[in-house]
Copies of this chain bind each other. A is one copy, B any other.
Amino acid sequence: MDAYSIGIDLGGTNLRAAAIDRDGKMLTKIAGSTPVAHGPGPVVDDMAQSVEKLRQQFGRDRLAGIGAGVPGNIDMAKGVIVGWGNMPIFNGYAMRDELSKRLDTKVILENDANAAALGERWMGAGRGVDDLVLMTLGTGIGGGIIVGGHILHGQIGMAGELGHITVSPNGNPCGCGNRGCVEKHASATAVSAMARLLNLGHDLTAEQVYDLAVQGNDRAREIFKAMGEALGIALAGLVNVFNFPLYLLGGGVVAAWDFFAPAMLAEVERRSFTYRSTLKTAPTRIEAAKLGGDAGLYGAACLPLEDVRT
């Protein structure tokens, strides 16, 4: 019987792959060597080599399947990349079939934030929950929506672009053409930008702003409060739209939970009648994700394990 699955997580800069067994135990995790900037061909070669390494180690017959999470929108029917943020070189690339050809076996492709949502549902903070939303807070903000145990893909795989929900109609401009997207007010990049606006220091990372907040710096704490309020507006809207039992926040900035969550939750409570009116009967949980940077690996690995996922 098949006993493990391979998940690939192609990040903004590099790739990782892991062999994970049916019970969700990570057997091993390896890193690729080809920068994503080299373009689709070399990157897919690298993906194939990583898989090959893992299946030599753990055996071909025991391999249930291969899943890959990539930071782009995917036409799920065709397995083709339809949009890849700042890397247009990937657009239109038939990544699923190219990878499948090199490996001589079926591959399932998924958007990375969607994969992270599946991973959290399998082995993280979403265990046993069939309907949930994950927002990933990083350089930008991504999202994955699970409805009835399945990822909501939308017409051409672009559902879940939660980072571009408007939270301030005349707010910070966004590369997407909008103004006031939540990712321009609540991502790691937004935290850095606010630190600069408040003269906290030049080019501080979100982590450095967090360290200042821990040390008691008022301006650093104010930044996370503003971040929490922006997130709260977006989340209140999502609670009103979905009435789901669980909303998860993932990504590096979640480490600053204690500094942004109070403002965020207060904002959701004020702005969502649904949130307030179900507090006692069927409370809406808004929580930090648990798998950190491995969520996407778990999610990619569970893509071929249909019995595990549903």
A interface residues, Cβ below 8 angstroms from B: 82-83, 131, 143, 145, 147, 152-162, 164-169, 176-179, 233, 236-238, 240-245, 270-274, 276-278, 281-282, 284
Contact = CB atoms under 8 A, between A and B. Distances in A.
B177 A241 contact: no
Contacts of A162: 240-241
A273 B166 contact: no
Given A237-B237, A278-B156, A178 B273 contact: yes
Contacts of A278: 155-156, 158
30 contacts: A83-B277, A131-B155, A147-B147, A147-B152, A152-B242, A155-B243, A155-B244, A155-B278, A155-B284, A156-B243, A156-B281, A158-B277, A159-B243, A160-B243, A161-B240, A161-B243, A161-B274, A162-B240, A164-B271, A164-B272, A164-B273, A165-B240, A166-B237, A166-B271, A167-B169, A168-B169, A176-B272, A177-B276, A178-B272, A237-B237
A272 B284 CA distance: 28
The 9 A-B residue pairs with the shortest CB-CB distance in the complex, in nearest-first order? A154-B243, A176-B273, A158-B243, A159-B243, A178-B271, A161-B240, A165-B237, A164-B240, A158-B274
Residue from A145, A160, A240 having most chain B Cβ neighbours under 10 A: A240
A161 B176 CA distance: 26
Contacts of A176: 272-273
Contact of A233 (B166, B245, B272, B282): B166
A166 B233 CA distance: 7
A242 B273 contact: no
Contacts of A274: 158, 161, 164
A273 B161 contact: yes
A231 to B, nearest CB: 13
A154 B132 CA distance: 10
B177 A271 contact: yes
A167 B237 CA distance: 10
Contacts of A164: 240, 271-274
Contacts of A153: 243
B241 A160 contact: yes
A83 B272 CA distance: 14
A45 B255 CA distance: 57
A173 to B, nearest CB: 11
B157 A243 contact: yes
Nearest to A273: B176
Contacts of A240: 161-162, 164-165
A162 to B, nearest CB: 7
A166 B236 contact: yes
A33 B159 CA distance: 45
Contacts of A161: 240-241, 243, 273-274
Given A177-B270, A273-B177, A242 B166 contact: no
Contact of A145 (B167, B233, B241, B276): B241
